Amino acid sequence: MTEGRKRFSEELRVLEDQALGGIDLVLVSLDRTLEALEQHDTELAGIVIADDDRIDGRYLEVHQGVLTLLALQSPVAGDLRVVAALLHLIKHIERMGDQCVNIAKLIPLSGHGPPRDAELFAMIDRMGKTARSMVAQSKQAFALRDPELSLDLVRQDDEVDRLNRQIFTRALDIGDKVDVREWAMFMILTARCLERIGDNAVDVGEQAAFVATGLFREFDDASHQQPPTTI
């Protein structure tokens, strides 16, 4: 390996570590978001919103770093897959951070000490924990280059989608009290944000499988039916 190629590989590894560190930032944000939701803690929700600048900063740092690296040297096939995957990875990380912010912004809007429906909130809690598990597993799948771990995210995403539908149905049937129905509408929006976090975790898994195998395909579900492409 030439000195230039060695330096390129080392700098690419640093960028990958920075990108995966962005997932750690998302996990912190998601943990705070779920706690703020559970406790109806508007102060903690404000921290989630303010700290999103760190995730946005990581996005810009990795994105610019990848472009700078490409300007210095053309990568070979294996490195090119990592470069392409990192550009997608950091985009999905930034989007997951934005969804945490969206949930945090809903918390003060739902009123002071809003009424709750225990059944509905239990589903929100399960959905949040599953989405968090998916985010953590997507990082592990990318770091380990593990296609099977990546594909397992689809199974968990099916559970998130199922809970999302159940929450919607429960919210519609929740009763006639105006304040409870209003809170339930906010929970529908919250569930949608958690569903999007799960989708982005699957997208990270797709990039992990691509780096590992050289084949890119969207994991099979009702909306993903296109054949794999090779790079």
Q: What CATH number is associated with residue 26?
A: 1.20.58.220
Single-letter residue type at 14: V
User: What's the pLDDT at 217?
Assistant: 79
162-215 pLDDT, tens digit each: 999 999 999 999 888 888 899 999 999 999 999 999 999 999 999 999 999 988
Report the distance separating Cα 101 and Cα 103, nearest Å. 5
Residue 148: partners with Cβ closer than 8 Å, 6 or more residues away: none
141-157 pLDDT, tens digit each: 999 999 999 999 999 99
Q: How far is CA 217 from CA 36, 67, 95, 208, in A?
A: 36, 24, 21, 11
87-126 pLDDT, tens digit each: 999 999 999 999 999 999 999 987 777 778 899 999 999 9
Neighbours of 26 (CB within 10 A): 29
Of residues 19 and 73, more confidently modeled: 19
Residue 217 backbone phi and psi in degrees, to 5: -150, 150
User: What's the pLDDT at 78?
Assistant: 77
User: What's the pLDDT at 45?
Assistant: 97
Cα 123 to its chain centre, rounded Å, is 19
Residue 36 has pLDDT above 60, yes or no: yes
53 falls in which pLDDT band (50, 70, 90)?
very high
Report the distance separating Cα 114 and Cα 13, nearest Å. 47
Per 3-state DSSP, what percentage of the chain is helix, strand, and coil (rounded to 5)?
80, 5, 15
Domain count, the chain: 1
Share of the chain above pLDDT 90, in %: 74
Which alpha helices (H) appear in 40-146, and where do they start and end? 42-72, 77-109, 118-144
224 falls in which pLDDT band (50, 70, 90)?
very low
Share of the chain above pLDDT 70, in %: 94
User: What's the pLDDT at 185?
Assistant: 93
User: What's the pLDDT at 6?
Assistant: 82
SS3 211: helix
Reading the block at residue 41, the tokens are 């803690």
Domain containing 99 equals 3-230
- Long-range contacts formed by 56-61: CB under 8 A, 24+ apart: 56/94, 56/97, 58/18, 58/19, 58/21, 58/22, 58/25, 58/90, 58/93, 58/94, 59/22, 59/90, 59/91, 59/93, 59/94, 61/18
Report the distance separating Cα 76 and Cα 142, nearest Å. 19
225 falls in which pLDDT band (50, 70, 90)?
very low
Report the distance separating Cα 37 and Cα 8, nearest Å. 43
User: What's the pLDDT at 1?
Assistant: 58
- pTM (2 d.p.): 0.90
Of residues 180 and 129, more confidently modeled: 129
Annotate 38-60 with DSSP letters as a single string. HHT-HHHHHHHHHHHHHHHHHHH
**Mean predicted confidence (pLDDT) in 47-61:** 97
User: What's the pLDDT at 7?
Assistant: 85
Indicate the average pLDDT of the chain: 91
